[in-house]
Amino acid sequence: MAEHGNVQDLLPNEVLNRTSFHFQPQRNWLNDPNAPMYYKGFYHLFYQYNPLAPEFSRKIIWGHSVSQDMVNWIQLQPALFPSQSFDRNSCWSGSATILPDGKPVILYTGLDEPDRHQVTVLAEPKDVSDPLLREWVKPKHNPVMLPPDDVPYYCFRDPTTAWQGQDGRWRVLIGAKHKDTERGMAILYHSDDFIQWTSHPFPLLSSQVKEMWECLDFFPVSLTGKEGVETSVNNASVKHVLKVSFEEKIGGKDCYVIGTYSSETEQFSADSEITNTSADLRYDYGMFYASKAFFDSAKNRRINWGWVVETDSKEDHFQKGWAGLMSLPREMWVDRSGKRLMQWPIEEINHLRTRHVTSDRRHFESGSRFEILGITAAQADVEVTFDLPVLEDNPQTLNSDKVEDKLLFNRDNSDGCLYGPFGLLALVSQDLSEQTAIFFKIIRCGNGYAVIMGSDEQKSSLRDNVHKFTHGTFLDIDPRHEMISLRCLVDHSIIESYGAGGRNVITSRVYPKLAIGEAAKLYVFNDGTKGVTMSSMEAWSMRNAQINSNAI
C-alpha cells in the first residue's frame, strides 16, 4: 500500500478531493449500500450504481465488490442489472439473507416495464460454491411481491434482511407509504418457502409522518454486551432496532427507534416514535443516508454502512467523473441504558494507521489553538479528549424556550454558552480561510448542562456551488461526570466525527480548494470565552486503502 505522496501537486482540485480510504467505485455514480454480507471468507458489498455516468439514472444496477477486511476492496462485475420485465427499468435497493443451509439470497426492488411499478424480486447465486458470488439468477416465480391495494405503485420498496420467527416462518419488511393517509409504514410479509409471500393485515410500524419510509432496517441488538446477534435471534436479552430513511433535497436522515418485538403477536413496541423531527434518534447527524446493516458471523458483530451524498454540483460530478461514497463500515451496538446505539469504525480501519504523534495534557486559553504536526493532516485519524473545570451541580436555570430559540448548533459562543466552541479544525488552509470545525459547546439547560456537538462547514470550501451545512446535535453525556472525547477520521473531503466513544456521529462532506494534500493542516482549538484542558491527543497518518482500483 502506497503512502500518501506528492502527486497532488500535479493534479486538479477535483481529483484531490477524492478520498483514500472510503469505499467508492473507480468512477461514475454510487448511491445506497445494498445487501452487505459475509460469505465463505469474503465480505460482499453491493451498491446502487450507474456505471455509465456520475449521475443517478433511470437504469440503476447493482455494483459488487468483495473484501477480506472491509477496508481493501476488489470490484467485480455488476451483480444485478435489468434483464426481465419485472426489473427492466432498474434494480433498486434490497438486502441479503443467509438461509439456514448457508445459502445467501437477495430480495431487491425491481422497477418493472413499462410503468416503473415497484415490485420485490428474489435473486439467488448461480453457484453457491463460488465464494465471490459472481453470478446471480432470478428464478421464474418472480416477482415475489407486488404493492398491496392501499399502497401506490411508486411507494413500495427496499426489502430488509428477512428473519425467522419462533414458528420458523420467514418475515421481511418493505418500506411504503399509505395511498390515502400518506403515512409512512413498514409492511410486514410472511413466507414458508421464501417464494410465496403474504402481507400481514397491519404494518409492523407506521407513523403520523406523511412521508415515504425508504431503506428500512430491522435487527436485534444485545442488551448484555457489544457483540452483534444474528437477525433471527429474539429473546429476553435483545431489543430490536427499526431504522427509517427520510429523503431530503440533499441527502436525508436515517432515524431509528429501539423497542421490543414479538413474532407471535407481530407487535413491535417502540420506546419512542418516528417523527421525522429533531426529536428522532439518528445514526448520523451529517451527510449519511440509506444505510444498511448486517451481522458479521466471522466476528460476531453488527456492521452498518451509509451513503455519503455529494454536496457539490452536478457539473462538479461530471468534472470529477464520480459521485457518491460509502461511510466507513461502523460497528453498532446498544449502550448500557438500552436507549441508544453506539457506533465505531470497525477495528480493521486501525490497520491503516501509520505515522503516530501524541501530545500531553495542555491548557487552551480562550482564543487559542495548537497545530498537530508530523502527520498527513488531509488523511488522518485523530483522537482527542477534553477535561472541563468542575461544573456546579445546580447551575442557574436557562429558560428552555430561550435554548430552543437560539441557533444552538452554530459555532458561536454567544450567551448561554458556558464553554466552547472547542474541538478540532480539520482541512485547514495555511491562511485559515478554509477550515471545517468539529466542535463542542457546553450550555446551561434546565437544571443541568447540555453538550452540543457540531460540524461547521461554513468555511469548508472556497469553491462555488458547494452546499455548506452546520450539522449539530446534543451529545448524550453529562459533562459534570464525563470527559468529552472526539475521534475524527479525515479523508481529503470527508470528515467522520465520533463523539463520546460513538454516542453521536456527524459526517461532513467538504470540498477544500486550498486545504488539499500536503497543504492541509489540523488544529486543536478553543474559541470559547473560558479556558479548557485537552487531557490527551493521539493522531495518525492514514495509508491509502486499495479500493476497487482493479476496475477500469
CB 165 within 8 Å of CB 263: yes
From CA 288, how far away is CA 243, in angstroms rounded?
13
State the nearest-atom distance from the C-beta of 159 to ligand DQQ, in Å. Answer: 10
Question: Is residue 364 within the footprint of ligand DQQ (CB under 6 A)?
Answer: no
From CA 331, how far away is CA 225, in angstroms rounded?
13
Q: Which of residues 148-187 bind ligand DQQ (CB under 6 A)?
A: 157-158
Q: What DSSP letter does each residue of 334-365 carry, written as one string?
A: E-TTSSSEEEEE-GGGGGGEEEEEEE--EEE-
- Draw the binding track, 439-478, toward ligand DQQ (x: CB under 6 A; -: no contact): ----------------------------------------
Q: What DSSP letter does each residue of 135-187 carry, written as one string?
A: -EE--TT---B---TTS-TTSEE-----EE-TTS-EEEEEEEE-TTT--EEEE
Q: Return the residue matching grid coordinates 466507513.
A: 328
Pick from 32, 87, 112, 456 the residue near ligand DQQ by CB under 6 A. Answer: 32
State the nearest-atom distance from the C-beta of 430 to ligand DQQ, in Å. Answer: 38
- Judged by CB, which is closer to ligand DQQ: 306, or 528? 306
- C-alpha closest to that of 417 among 403, 427, 429: 403
- Judged by CB, which is closer to ligand DQQ: 290, or 425? 290
- Judged by CB, which is closer to ligand DQQ: 214, or 381? 214
CA distances from 224 to 96, 148, 236, 237 (A): 26, 39, 10, 7
Angle (CA) 158-218-495 rounded to 5° is 80
Q: Which of residues 38-57 bind ligand DQQ (CB under 6 A)?
A: 48
State the nearest-atom distance from the C-beta of 216 to ligand DQQ, in Å. Answer: 10
State the nearest-atom distance from the C-beta of 217 to ligand DQQ, in Å. Answer: 12
Rg (CA), the chain: 23
- State the sign of the Cα–Cα–Cα–Cα dihedral 507, 511, 512, 516: positive
Q: What DSSP letter does each residue of 361-398 carry, written as one string?
A: -EEE-TTEEEE--SS-TTEEEEEEEEE-PPPPSSPPPB
Q: Is residue 32 flagged as an active site residue?
A: yes
- Judged by CB, which is closer to ligand DQQ: 95, or 497? 95
Q: Which of residues 196-255 bind ligand DQQ (CB under 6 A)?
A: 214-215
- Judged by CB, which is closer to ligand DQQ: 71, or 215? 215
From CA 301, how far away is CA 283, in angstroms rounded?
17
State the nearest-atom distance from the C-beta of 335 to ligand DQQ, in Å. Answer: 28
Q: Which of residues 288-347 bind ligand DQQ (CB under 6 A)?
A: 290
Question: Is residue 28 within the footprint of ligand DQQ (CB under 6 A)?
Answer: no
State the nearest-atom distance from the C-beta of 48 to ligand DQQ, in Å. Answer: 4
State the nearest-atom distance from the C-beta of 60 to ligand DQQ, in Å. Answer: 5
Question: Is residue 92 within the footprint of ligand DQQ (CB under 6 A)?
Answer: yes
Q: What DSSP letter does each residue of 205-245 carry, written as one string?
A: EE-S--S--EEEEEEEEESSSS-B--TT--STTEEEEEEEE
State the nearest-atom distance from the C-beta of 309 to ligand DQQ, in Å. Answer: 9
Which residue's Cβ has the minimum distance to ligand DQQ? 92
- Judged by CB, which is closer to ligand DQQ: 32, or 496? 32
| Set 32, 254, 316, 527: catalytic member | 32
Pick from 35, 60, 162, 427 the residue near ligand DQQ by CB under 6 A. Answer: 60
CB 47 within 8 Å of CB 62: yes
CB 551 within 8 Å of CB 25: yes
From CA 56, how far away is CA 290, in angstroms rounded?
15
Pick from 17, 72, 109, 164 the residue near ligand DQQ by CB under 6 A. Answer: 109
User: Which three three-digit cell numbers place residue 112?
Assistant: 418493472
- Judged by CB, which is closer to ligand DQQ: 253, or 521? 253
- Judged by CB, which is closer to ligand DQQ: 157, or 320? 157
Active site (catalytic) residues:
32
Interface with ligand DQQ by CB under 6 A: which residues?
31-32, 48, 60, 92-93, 109, 157-158, 214-215, 290
